[in-house]
Chain A
Amino acid sequence: MGRTRSSTSRHRISYVFVSGYVLLALAFGVLPTLYAVRMSFTTSEGTFSGVENFSRVIDDFRFWPAVQHVAAFVAIWLVALLVLVTVLALLVHQIGVRWLSSGVRFVYYIPGALAGASAVVLWLFVLDPTVSPVSGVLHAFGFDSFVQTISPGNLPVIFAVMAFWTGAGGWIVVMYGALNSIPHEVLEAARIDGAGVVRTALHIQLPMLRKWISYMAIISLAAGTQLFVEPRVLSQASHGVVPNDYSLNQLAYLFAFKQQDLNGSAAIAVMLLVVSLSLSVFFVVRGGLFERD
């Protein structure tokens, strides 16, 4: 009897324990989403307007170019992440010397400290041949001035390199951790069977990483669609040669702050949110990474 009572009170107090978090989740997760959805389907006067906001935004001449820019960037970035992070994680895992392995991992990880505007400002220097630490590389590609380096065709690659530089290290560490969870005996057995490094990687390690790789892909895909600070800062630094409407989030920003069209802005935000949300739900339901409950 007492047990039941205590477990009831335990459950009751759980509501107290989660209440703060639930409030924040409502205020800054659920409510803004609902509010943005409502705004995207209404006029600035608050009357229902159907898909009018969406069609206006999609018909805007800047919309499809922005979609293409973001898609190109995400494609390049994803391939780079998938290939290089996996290879580098396997590589670091191969390093037998303990301090060396952890040292290398740390060096890969450290740019993660530089995110947001700081990283972009740092990359402005790297991309400007007059001051760049790798000006030789830039000149070798035929880029003699900042404007040439950031010509439109190069931008997806540049943003991908920047994003890879800041983010890859974290993923390498995660993959490394996952690799470590493969029992030593399994790898040892493979070695005794005469499997080389490559075969071990392909047949034993990669399958173990599969979940994590898809996790990384989903998260990065969703994050990539949100491109904002990188093109914004580059635009500011390039006298507008990198347009201020390069990405979808920049376009949403312009709708809100330049055209005073908050409803149009909400429409873009909702579209982006739908992309992120579907990817996320798909992964939580199908991914299996969080099958704990």
Chain B
Amino acid sequence: MTRQPSRAVLRQPRHLLVAAAVAASLLTVSACSGSSDEGGSDGSTDAYGFDAVEQDPSAPITVWVDASRQPAVDAFEEANPDVKLNVETYDGGADGSGSFQTKIEAFNQAGSGWPDVVFSTQNNDAAWASQGTEPFAAPVDKGLFDSSFLDGFTEGALAPLTVDGTVYGLRNDLAPTVAWYDKSLMDQFGYTPPTTWEEYEALGTTVATEHPGYIVGAIGDSWTPEVYFWGGQAPMNTVTGADEFSADASDPKTVAMAEVLDGLNDAGVLAQESVFSPEFLQKHAGKVLMLPGPVWYSGALFQNADSLNAAPGTMTAGVPLSWDGEDPAAGNVGGGTWFVSQHSANLEAAKEFLTFVTSDDRYQVDLAPGLPAYSAAADKWLAKQAEANFFTSDFVDNVGTAATMVWDGWGYPRFSQESVWAKAVTPELAGGESLVDLLPTWETALKNEAQANGYKVS
């Protein structure tokens, strides 16, 4: 029955020994001959920092994107009609569904079928994609891309993709959280945009009595923890060393943030629905006074005819909120990431594609809904926003500032904060429980998940 040795078999020690022996003999041979051609593969270990399969410059590449990234693919195809792409859309791993990882693992089992390029909405995929006997993600800084290109990314943009000093993918966009607000409504109501969480809570309670029906935030999405708790510097996602995780729900900042949200929730000024749901639009369109959230809300919600469709010159982004007397900090919601497969037979095409979608003006400046991670593109994107003046006030400055403020106390573990929040907190919250009461549940759920994923929990 054993027609082909599979990975499961290879893991067994006898076979491991054989594999090790073969590898060792290959090493000796290549050391003697002074060439690394013995591997039989065209793109050798030296060229890319991993064992590439035999390359075929005319092979079509399979690209996985979420539906929102389709324009990036279209722009690339228009610019490079000679590169053949097979495009497949998937959920992009949204809400921590884990579909990227589970699909890849299925192909690992099959021993074939991997996509060449994958877009993920999550920023923690490098944690697993760089690991294993057959890691999926190709290192990008070991020969695949020039360091001059990689240096072009905004400082820190590649941090979520860096594991043990090696970079395993490219960042699509930066996603710091900002304090979105409707300037015209603020003026009309005579309010000053808050700069601290304390002022934010006070504003919310005032709005509830003076202008009921208007909202100052939303807690229906699974990235609520990144917006509020990451931004509020609550230590709920601390990754130390390779395998240590901690979450502290009794930290004063965690509790304070939960109290702010409970207060606002009781006042009825937080939307319970996902900002992408039809219900959200039905209930709150035109009544969004404030909405702390990632920069990409710009193109995804406000400047989007199918969503909130704000009038030009009304919305703007305030700098991230701070605690009274402290420095402000930003949370971070995703910021998409691009990966190249180690199994790709056309790494050059994959490289060309990634270069285009992360840095080319024709996508990142002209079409992208959020702040590009590639700094030259980011500058132009911001300049374009300044010129269009759709977002008013100090939008450009504030977004630029926020990008430098992402709090480094949150890590990028192998599991998804979003999926834990969705299953442990969202339903209870919808059922009327207070967030303060739910904090221990949340902490336990996070620690359990961390433990199941091999972290030592403290």
Q: Which residue of B lies closest to A46 (CB)?
A: B12
Bitwise, B425-458 to A at CB < 8 A (1) or not (0) is: 0110011000000000000000010011110000
> B66-115: which have CB < 8 Å to A?
91, 94-98, 101-102, 105-106
Q: Which residues of chain B have C-beta atoms less than 8 A from A262's C-beta? A: 8
- A243, CB-defined interface residue at 8 Å: yes
Q: A241 touches which one: B272, B423, B451 (CB < 8 A)?
A: B423
Q: Which residue of B lies closest to A148 (CB)?
A: B430
Q: How distant is the Cα of A244 from the Cα of B132 in the complex, in angstroms?
A: 23
B279 near A62 with CB under 8 A, answer no
Q: Which residue of B lies closest to A150 (CB)?
A: B427
Bitwise, A241-257 to B at CB < 8 A (1) or not (0) is: 11110000000011011
Q: Known: A46-B12, A259-B453, A260-B132. Is A241-B106 also a contact (CB below 8 A)?
A: no
Contacts A130-B279, A240-B423, A242-B423 aside, 10 further interface pairs with beta carbons under 8 A come to: A44-B11, A61-B451, A147-B426, A235-B97, A236-B91, A239-B222, A240-B95, A240-B418, A243-B422, A258-B102
A260 near B96 with CB under 8 A, answer no
Q: How distant is the Cα of A46 from the Cα of B17 in the complex, in angstroms?
A: 14
- A145, CB-defined interface residue at 8 Å: yes
Q: Which residues of chain B have C-beta atoms less than 8 A from A62's C-beta? A: 448, 452
8 A-B residue pairs with Cβ-Cβ distance under 8 Å, sorted by A, are A44-B11, A130-B278, A235-B97, A236-B97, A238-B422, A239-B95, A240-B97, A259-B454
- B5, CB-defined interface residue at 8 Å: no
Bitwise, A37-53 to B at CB < 8 A (1) or not (0) is: 00000001111000000
B452 near A60 with CB under 8 A, answer yes
Q: How distant is the Cα of A151 from the Cα of B427 in the complex, in angstroms?
A: 6
Q: How distant is the Cα of A145 from the Cα of B431 in the complex, in angstroms?
A: 12
- A112, CB-defined interface residue at 8 Å: no
Q: Known: A151-B427, A239-B95, A244-B419. Is A45-B13 also a contact (CB below 8 A)?
A: yes
- A287, CB-defined interface residue at 8 Å: no
Q: Which residues of chain B have C-beta atoms less than 8 A from A242's C-beta? A: 423
Q: Which residues of chain B have C-beta atoms less than 8 A from A148's C-beta? A: 430
Report how many A-B pairs have Cβ atoms within 8 Å.
78
- B273, CB-defined interface residue at 8 Å: yes
A61 near B96 with CB under 8 A, answer no
Q: Known: A46-B13, A148-B430. Is A239-B279 also a contact (CB below 8 A)?
A: no
A: which residues have CB within 8 A of B? 44-47, 60-62, 130, 145, 147-148, 151-152, 235-236, 238-244, 253-254, 256-260, 262
Q: How distant is the Cα of A238 from the Cα of B221 in the complex, in angstroms?
A: 11
B431 near A258 with CB under 8 A, answer no
Q: How distant is the Cα of A47 from the Cα of B16 in the complex, in angstroms?
A: 14
Q: Which residues of chain A have C-beta atoms less than 8 A from B430's C-beta? A: 147-148, 151
B426 near A61 with CB under 8 A, answer no
Q: How distant is the Cα of A32 from the Cα of B98 in the complex, in angstroms?
A: 27
Q: Which residues of chain B have C-beta atoms less than 8 A from A259's C-beta? A: 452-454
B105 near A240 with CB under 8 A, answer no
Q: Which residue of B lies closest to A262 (CB)?
A: B8
Q: Which residue of A lies closest to B426 (CB)?
A: A241
A152 near B427 with CB under 8 A, answer yes
Q: Which residue of A lies closest to B449 (CB)?
A: A61
Q: Which residues of chain A have C-beta atoms less than 8 A from B101's C-beta? A: 257-258
Bitwise, B382-410 to A at CB < 8 A (1) or not (0) is: 00000000000000000000000000000
- B274, CB-defined interface residue at 8 Å: yes
Q: How distant is the Cα of A236 from the Cα of B96 in the complex, in angstroms?
A: 10
Q: Which residue of A lies closest to B15 (CB)?
A: A46
B222 near A240 with CB under 8 A, answer yes
* CB proximity of A149 to chain B, nearest CB, Å: 11
A258 near B98 with CB under 8 A, answer yes
A257 near B8 with CB under 8 A, answer no
A147 near B427 with CB under 8 A, answer yes
Q: How distant is the Cα of A80 from the Cα of B150 in the complex, in angstroms?
A: 61
Q: Which residue of A lies closest to B13 (CB)?
A: A45
Q: Which residues of chain A have C-beta atoms less than 8 A from B452's C-beta? A: 60-62, 259
Q: Which residues of chain B have C-beta atoms less than 8 A from A235's C-beta? A: 97
Q: How distant is the Cα of A130 from the Cα of B8 in the complex, in angstroms?
A: 47
A243 near B423 with CB under 8 A, answer yes
Q: How distant is the Cα of A236 from the Cα of B430 in the complex, in angstroms?
A: 19
B13 near A239 with CB under 8 A, answer no
Q: How distant is the Cα of A207 from the Cα of B11 in the complex, in angstroms?
A: 57
Q: How distant is the Cα of A257 from the Cα of B103 in the complex, in angstroms?
A: 8
Q: How distant is the Cα of A184 from the Cα of B385 in the complex, in angstroms?
A: 84
B12 near A145 with CB under 8 A, answer no
Q: How distant is the Cα of A152 from the Cα of B424 in the complex, in angstroms?
A: 10
Q: Which residues of chain A have C-beta atoms less than 8 A from B222's C-beta? A: 239-240
A239 near B274 with CB under 8 A, answer yes
Q: How distant is the Cα of A260 from the Cα of B104 in the complex, in angstroms?
A: 11
B419 near A240 with CB under 8 A, answer yes
A258 near B426 with CB under 8 A, answer no
A241 near B422 with CB under 8 A, answer yes
Q: Which residues of chain A have C-beta atoms less than 8 A from B91's C-beta? A: 236
A240 near B8 with CB under 8 A, answer no
Q: Which residues of chain B have C-beta atoms less than 8 A from A47's C-beta? A: 13
A145 near B273 with CB under 8 A, answer yes
Max chain B C-beta neighbours (<10 A), residue from A45, A151, A259? A259
* CB proximity of B147 to chain A, nearest CB, Å: 32
